[in-house]
Homo-oligomer: A and B are copies of this chain.
Amino acid sequence: MTSAWELLLPAASAPARARGRALQEALRDAVRSGRLTAGTRLPSSRDLAADLGVSRGLVTDAYEQLTAEGYLRSGRGAGTWVGDAVRAPRPRARDLAPRSSGDLADFVPGTPDLSLFPRSAWAAAQRSVLTDLPHESLGYPDPRGLPRLRSALAELLARRRGVVADPERIVVVSGVAQATALLAGVLHARGMHTAGVEDPGSPQHSALYASAGVGTVPLPLDGEGLALGPLRASGVRVVVTTPAHQFPTGIAYSARRRAELLTWARSVDGLVLEDDYDGDFRYDRAPVGALQGLDPERVAYTGSVSKSLAPGLRLGWLLVPDWLADDVVERKRTTDLGHPALDQALFARFVEHGDYDRQLRVCQRAYRERRDTLVAALAEHFPGARVTGIAAGLHAIATLPGRHGPEERFLARVREAGVAVRPLTAYGHGGAAAAPAREVRLVLGYAHVTPGRIRAGVARMAQAV
């Protein structure tokens, strides 16, 4: 018995005389109870009759009767559907996806412009992959990722980011979060129970490490990157960094600090996790290559398509040192059996055909324009404001003159005016040096906001305060 409609089976085995009525009652109950929900399409009367082992006429009758009663409805032409007349108190799915919180403009950092997603190139890649993929590629994938994608990523990351990229040491992951969680689990198993994090830094890291039982130590920055003294004193052997474009302060690690960081890692037999979250976007010069390229045995490198294509794709990569590779791959294999195969094949083709480079060029042009717009608008409406950090990435740091503070009052007024902004202090772990009392320092994400809205948002901010 192959039916998807086994709830009707008892009716089908009723005595022949009562069978029709029993079938109708069972269908009615199913709709009333919510087991069949509004909009569900019913099988054709032929299919259902075959599945239940009853005559087709019995099913046709039941459909007609319940349609007459308002439980079911018929589409034009063919098809019968569950109607929406019944008010079963059926729970509905709420949506807890992150939402924009500004009416006029939300300068949340880290979000790309989703309208730039290259739908037609993506669709072409989808078609091609589904046509060409051999059947066996639909089985359980290599836990490290499809070989074809790892080769494409190795070429891409070597070329664009100066990474030393051996396809055998790339693990395809769902993004930087999963990369971090996997690595944290492996390090915990090797007895590293604390990790250093940049302060200020990404608010996600503490929870990520905690999920693997690893504690975090906030480590302060100076003008060149992670401050070395506190790092050495902390006793940690693992540290998470964003050397190409520190999040959120926007500085680039100095060449000297990059070298010092590696010397430190070697001296403690430790590891630097390089989160290259937006390293593709630099507007004033060529991007500085990844730290990993200098010492691939002391640096694990991670990145994703979340800033270049869309966070909803959940696709990223982790390059691991040789001494961690087997453990990381084994943990990936155990905990989710590898990344979706079709998605991987699709992205491999997208990279191979130059579509990814093209997308990066499109984003680079758009985001550079938006950054310029933001800087100009701030200069116009907040004379004396300073924009710090390098010209890169998807966000900027703006320090507004003291007369706009204190921060809390500023933020409250701006929020009321329909503009959402976040203060730099929101990214501190509590240990960072506080800003001078009346100064307001904002983390302004601009990539997903059109130039018009950037200008309007900044103007509105200025009016509000």
Interface residues of A (CB under 8 A from B): 1-7, 9, 30, 34-37, 39-41, 43, 91-98, 111, 114-115, 117, 119, 122-123, 126-127, 130-131, 135-144, 146-148, 150-151, 154-155, 158-160, 162, 166-168, 170, 173-175, 177-178, 181, 185, 204, 207-208, 211, 213, 282, 284-287, 310-315, 331, 334-343, 352-354, 357, 360-361, 364-365, 368
Task: Check if A98 sits within 8 Å of B139, measured CB to CB.
Answer: yes
Task: Check if A312 sits within 8 Å of B93, measured CB to CB.
Answer: no
Task: Identify the 7 closest CB pairs spanning chains A and B, nearest first.
Answer: A312-B341, A93-B167, A93-B147, A6-B286, A138-B310, A2-B364, A114-B135
Query: Residue A314 contacts which of B144, B146, B160, B338 (CB distance < 8 angstroms)?
Result: B338
Supply 4 further A-B pairs (C-beta < 8 A) apart from A5-B159, A35-B158, A93-B168: A4-B159, A126-B126, A178-B335, A311-B337
Task: Check if A286 sits within 8 Å of B3, measured CB to CB.
Answer: yes
Residues of B near A139 (CB, < 8 A) are 97-98, 111, 114, 310-312
Task: Check if A313 sits within 8 Å of B341, measured CB to CB.
Answer: yes
Residues of B near A119 (CB, < 8 A) are 130-131
How far is A1 from B335 in the complex, measured between Cα atoms in Å?
A: 41
How far is A236 from B76 in the complex, measured between Cα atoms in Å?
A: 57
Interface centre among A6, A114, A353 (most CB of B within 10 A): A6
How far is A287 from B7 in the complex, measured between Cα atoms in Å?
A: 10
Query: Residue A335 contacts which of B34, B41, B111, B208 (CB distance < 8 angstroms)?
Result: B208
Residues of B near A143 (CB, < 8 A) are 96
Closest CB in chain B relative to A459 CB, distance in Å: 25
Instruction: Evaluate whether A337 and B175 lie within 8 angstroms (CB atoms) in the complex, with A1-B285, A3-B286 already known.
Output: yes
Closest CB in chain B relative to A10 CB, distance in Å: 9
Task: Check if A365 sits within 8 Å of B114, measured CB to CB.
Answer: no
Q: List 6 A-B contacts (CB under 8 A).
A: A2-B361, A2-B368, A43-B357, A111-B139, A174-B340, A181-B334
Q: Which residue of B lies closest to A309 (CB)?
A: B138
Task: Check if B2 sits within 8 Å of A336, measured CB to CB.
Answer: no
Query: Residue A98 contacts which of B35, B140, B207 (CB distance < 8 angstroms)?
Result: B140
Closest CB in chain B relative to A463 CB, distance in Å: 27
Task: Check if B4 sits within 8 Å of A94, measured CB to CB.
Answer: no
Query: Residue A331 contacts which of B35, B211, B312 (CB distance < 8 angstroms)?
Result: B211
Task: Check if B97 sits within 8 Å of A140, measured CB to CB.
Answer: yes
Residues of B near A131 (CB, < 8 A) are 119
Q: Which residue of B lies closest to A47 (CB)?
A: B361
Residues of B near A361 (CB, < 8 A) are 2, 4
Residues of B near A5 (CB, < 8 A) are 159
Residues of B near A127 (CB, < 8 A) are 123, 126
Residues of B near A123 (CB, < 8 A) are 126-127, 130
Closest CB in chain B relative to A297 CB, distance in Å: 15
Task: Check if B7 sits within 8 Å of A207, measured CB to CB.
Answer: no
Task: Check if A92 sits within 8 Å of B151, measured CB to CB.
Answer: yes
Query: Residue A142 contacts which of B96, B115, B146 (CB distance < 8 angstroms)?
Result: B96
Task: Check if B166 sits within 8 Å of A311, measured CB to CB.
Answer: no
Closest CB in chain B relative to A266 CB, distance in Å: 24
Closest CB in chain B relative to A195 CB, distance in Å: 15
Residues of B near A354 (CB, < 8 A) are 41, 43
Closest CB in chain B relative to A349 CB, distance in Å: 12
Residues of B near A360 (CB, < 8 A) are 2, 4
Instruction: Evaluate whether A336 and B178 lie within 8 angstroms (CB atoms) in the complex, with A1-B282, A92-B151, A147-B94 already known.
Output: yes
Query: Residue A312 contacts which of B95, B96, B138, B315 (CB distance < 8 angstroms)?
Result: B138
Q: Which residue of B lies closest to A206 (CB)?
A: B334
Q: Which residue of B lies closest to A145 (CB)?
A: B93
How far is A177 from B23 in the complex, measured between Cα atoms in Å?
A: 39
Task: Check if A91 sits within 8 Å of B167, measured CB to CB.
Answer: yes
Task: Check if A340 sits within 8 Å of B311, measured CB to CB.
Answer: no
Query: Residue A365 contacts which of B2, B142, B147 (CB distance < 8 angstroms)?
Result: B2
Residues of B near A334 (CB, < 8 A) are 177, 181, 204, 207-208, 211
